Structure formats: structure tokens, C-alpha cells
Copies of this chain bind each other. A is one copy, B any other.
């Protein structure tokens, strides 16, 4: 009974995700669904990304919009807003993941014709968000080194469906017990194709590789 309801909820979400995808395509915008545990540094990564894109002197600047998902508060949107990009905060009222209907509503508040990419920062949770398609073209899983090298084994789903994996806070590696080889072995068992970016939002390490990937992904989506 419970299983049937869950399946119905997921089916309804899939239909709404398809609508989100159509809406985005109509405006030539792609969405990236960024997932992680709470506190792995998703918002810091967004800040860094926005700053770097703002400073880049490209012939074709990458215009970014942000959707912030949190159970409560608008703290994250308040961090993004001063950086001068469009941002919408979703509060899930205590719920543990974003769903496509919430993203669809949030997109109505973004100037889609002036954007190339919308990055959706999901609710901090390594389990529930995985089941919910938000209409994204790519998923990015973020893990910080302080969370432990065993996470791709214990929380396989988030890593299995990721198109890119970011290992964040690598500046803290000297201070924590994180076995990089063990992490890569566990990750390789559930996902052998997603690129892994070693990142520090504090030092800026890895930022260029991540931005290259983002640009490459956008180009690929536009070619297809």
C-alpha cells in the first residue's frame, strides 16, 4: 500500500519533471541538480562558481541562475543574492527533498531568457533527493572530506546517478582520516564514468576544472 503511494508520488513527479524539462528547453536553459549532505559546501561552491564566472572574460559568458532548497530559512538565498545573479529560495517546510512541482514554481520567478544554466541546490540529504527528477540535465554529487571515505558505499544512490562528483574541502585532508584510494575504490564500484573533481572552495583548487566541465556540459546539451 505504502509502496503504491510512493510509486504514484514518483510518477506524478516524473510528469512534472518532464514539464520542467520542456519549459527549460523552450528557453534554451539547462538545469543542474546539486545534491549532498547538509554542510558539505554546496552554497560555498555556488558562491565561488558565480564569482569566477563573473570574473571570466569570455566571448560567451555563462549566465547562471540559482534555486536554493532548504527545509527552512532563506539564509542560502541571502548569500547568493549579493553576488548579483537571480536566485529563488524554496522552503520545503521541513520536507527532506525538492520535487519537480516546487522547481517548476520557482522557475516562474527566474528570468529564463537571460540565463544559460540554473543550478538547483537540493535540500542537504544524501538519500531522498535521489529519487526525485527535477527536470535537470545533469546531477552533481558533492561530498566533503570531513564526511568520510566510506560514503559511496553507504549512500550509493547519490553517487550512482551523478554525472559529476565533487570532493570538497580537500584543504582539510591533512587534518582528517580520509583515505582517498578507499574513497575512489568505493566510488568506482557504483559509478565508473562521472569525473571526480578535487575541490576546495577555500583555496580555489579544482574550480577551473569544474567550470570547464560545466561549460562542456552546456555545449553538449546545446549540440544535442
Contacts and interface: CB of A to CB of B under 8 A. Distances in A.
Interface of A: 1-2, 5, 9, 37-40, 70-73, 75-76, 94-96, 123-128, 143-144, 146-148, 150-151, 153-157, 169, 171-172, 175-176
Contact of A126 (B1, B124, B144): B124
Nearest to A79: B150
Contact of A127 (B123, B143, B144, B148): B123
Contact of A72 (B94, B123, B155): B155
24 contacts: A2-B5, A37-B37, A37-B39, A38-B151, A38-B155, A39-B147, A39-B148, A40-B147, A70-B154, A71-B127, A71-B157, A72-B155, A75-B150, A75-B153, A94-B127, A95-B127, A96-B125, A96-B128, A124-B155, A125-B127, A128-B128, A146-B172, A172-B175, A175-B175
B154 A73 contact: yes
Nearest to A128: B96
Nearest to A96: B127
Contacts of A127: 71, 94-96, 123, 125, 128
A189 B73 CA distance: 13
Given A38-B126, A73-B150, 18 more contacts: A2-B9, A38-B151, A39-B148, A40-B147, A71-B127, A71-B154, A72-B155, A75-B154, A94-B127, A96-B96, A96-B125, A124-B154, A124-B155, A125-B125, A146-B169, A171-B175, A172-B172, A172-B175
